[in-house]
Amino acid sequence: MRIAKKANKNRIYLDYASATPLDPSVQRAMHGYSEVEYGNPSALHDMGVRAKDAITVARKTVADVLGAHADEIIFTSGGTESDNLAIFGVVRAAKKHISHPHVVTTNIEHAAVLVACRALVEEGIEVTYVPVGENGIVDPKEIEKALRPETVLVSVIYANNEIGTVQPIREIAKAIRHFRKLKPKSTEHTVFQYPLFHSDAVQAPNYLPLVVDKLGIDLVSLSSAKIYGPKGVGALYVRRNTPIAPILFGGDQERALRPGTLPVPLIVGFGAALAHTQILCDKEAARLAKLQEYFFAVFLERFPEILINGDRNQRLPNNVNVSFPNYESDFLVIELSAKGIFVSGKSACKSGDAEASHVIGAIRGTVDGIASAPKTQEAIRFSMGRHTTKKDIDAVITALAQIFEKQKKWNV
């Protein structure tokens, strides 16, 4: 495989929601843990102790950002594993005490949650998918209506990975707490009460607050790949005394919830990346919010027929998701790529699927809330990042105009 030695200065990368470049400060933090301090953190010798110390520091860093305790952080391979551990882990633990556990989620979750829930259904677990509104935001009252005495888990994404809509996590947490108070207390569990509340917060750290007590969340999934850290590492926050069972088996690493030799360089990089995002968070969110408003304004002026997907205000400041009627997303992604502009049609983990986005389908009112969107309503996601400029946006508009003009000539 040929790998470019030097980045093309003319390329425009607008797929930060899919993957971010490694920040130089993160790379410096990781330096040495692969070639010098490469000991196994479970070993008793000095190299192992130093590796363990590095992980301890990273764990505390992640915990501090979340306002959590260090022992509540479980390192994983990324957001997908964190989501799976939260969902299957809670349900498996609950099955020891509740004969028919019930799960509540939404119809715009990341595939890591939706596909996991489908697997639960195949195991006989009932899952309720609460639909979002046309603005891509779920109503907390609808979540509360879906709760039952046997509900053990509610999983709602913090910020959607495709359309960027930010969900009312605090209000959902409040509704869950209210339900817990009304529900008869279990004689088997004195420390906690179901349902537990999980959120996939993979897209959130760059722009949104993460303190778990203020959000009211019991489990939170994070990924390093979206915050300018190394790929292949993430974390699951698990509130103390939360009943959860392992989904992998082996050693007793990570409280026996995630066995396997810990990847020290990746964990060190993840901790450094998360800390750095907090330093830049407010300033970068404000900068991108201005670019986002410009992006939408120019889009609507130049292409008034477009459809903006998701709420204009309650969304991540780096997300611009639009539909071009009668143009398939794959066509536009490929055409833009040929011009050195890199965007996505939907979540990267589902880009190989023939079906269109289930998120667009959900907000466009398809028959099934988690069905795909019609081909004529496919969407393009432009996700900005630390290196995005106004000049990049202007280049995108020009490129799209050229593509549409070329297509018109072909259709004549």
Task: Say if residue 253 is in the same domain as residue 377.
Answer: no
- Predicted confidence band of residue 369 (pLDDT cuts 50, 70, 90): very low
In angstroms, rounded to a whole number, what is the distance separating the alpha carbons of residues 129 and 103? 9
Q: Residue 198 belongs to what domain range?
A: 24-275
| Residue whose entry in the numeric block shows the structure tokens 């195991």 | 123
Residue type, 145: K
Task: Say if residue 84 is in the same domain as residue 229.
Answer: yes
Inside any domain, residue 3: no
Total structural domains within the chain: 2
What is the 8-class DSSP label of residue 372? P
The last residue of a domain, from among 238, 255, 275: 275
In angstroms, rounded to a whole number, what is the distance separating the alpha carbons of residues 83 and 164? 18
Asked about 281 being catalytic, the answer comes back as no
- Predicted confidence band of residue 368 (pLDDT cuts 50, 70, 90): very low
Reference 68, options 222, 267, 262, 265; nearest CA is 222
In angstroms, rounded to a whole number, what is the distance separating the alpha carbons of residues 56 and 204? 24
Inside any domain, residue 1: no
Residue 196's φ and ψ, nearest 5 degrees, are: -85, 155
In angstroms, rounded to a whole number, what is the distance separating the alpha carbons of residues 171 and 315? 16
What average pLDDT does the chain have?
A: 91
Query: Is a pLDDT exceeding 90 seen at residue 239?
Result: yes
pLDDT on residue 409: 62
Beta bridge partners of 73: 237
pLDDT on residue 5: 46
pLDDT on residue 372: 54
- Predicted confidence band of residue 367 (pLDDT cuts 50, 70, 90): very low
The last residue of a domain, from among 252, 275, 298: 275
Query: Is a pLDDT exceeding 70 seen at residue 348?
Result: no
CATH number of residue 345's parent domain: 3.90.1150.10
Catalytic residue among 349, 371, 395, 397: 349
In angstroms, rounded to a whole number, what is the distance separating the alpha carbons of residues 322 and 320? 7
Inside any domain, residue 2: no
The last residue of a domain, from among 253, 275, 297: 275
Query: Is a pLDDT exceeding 50 seen at residue 43?
Result: yes
Q: Span 222-227, mean pLDDT?
A: 98
Tell me the per-residue pLDDT of 287-340, one tens digit each, with 9 for 90 and over: 999 999 999 999 999 999 999 999 999 999 999 999 998 888 999 999 999 999
Tell me the per-residue pLDDT of 86-145, one tens digit each, with 9 for 90 and over: 999 999 999 998 989 999 999 999 999 999 999 999 999 999 999 999 999 999 999 999
Query: Is a pLDDT exceeding 90 seen at residue 411?
Result: no
Task: Say if residue 318 is in the same domain as residue 262.
Answer: no
Beta bridge partners of 106: 130
Which position has the higher pLDDT, 195 or 251? 195
- Predicted confidence band of residue 347 (pLDDT cuts 50, 70, 90): low
Using alpha carbons, list the distances in angstroms from residue 348 to 162, 243, 357.
9, 32, 11
Task: Say if residue 269 is in the same domain as residue 323.
Answer: no
Task: Say if residue 267 is in the same domain as residue 287.
Answer: no
Task: Say if residue 314 is in the same domain as residue 237.
Answer: no
Beta bridge partners of 70: none
- Predicted confidence band of residue 68 (pLDDT cuts 50, 70, 90): very high
Residue 213: exposure state from Cβ atoms within 10 A (0-12, 13-18, ≥19): exposed
CATH number of residue 91's parent domain: 3.40.640.10
Residue type, 88: F
Task: Say if residue 262 is in the same domain as residue 339.
Answer: no
In angstroms, rounded to a whole number, what is the distance separating the alpha carbons of residues 388 and 107? 31
pLDDT on residue 405: 87
Q: Span 390-407, mean pLDDT?
A: 94
Reference 239, options 222, 224, 220, 215; nearest CA is 220
Inside any domain, residue 4: no
Task: Say if residue 336 is in the same domain as residue 260.
Answer: no
Reference 87, options 46, 62, 121; nearest CA is 121
Task: Say if residue 262 is in the same domain as residue 288.
Answer: no
Percentage above 90 pLDDT, the chain: 78
Task: Say if residue 136 is in the same domain as residue 195.
Answer: yes
pTM for the whole thing?
A: 0.92
Inside any domain, residue 6: no
Task: Say if residue 238 is in the same domain as residue 304.
Answer: no
| Residue whose entry in the numeric block shows the structure tokens 């005495």 | 149
Q: Span 258-268, mean pLDDT?
A: 94
pLDDT on residue 113: 98
Task: Say if residue 304 is in the same domain as residue 351.
Answer: yes
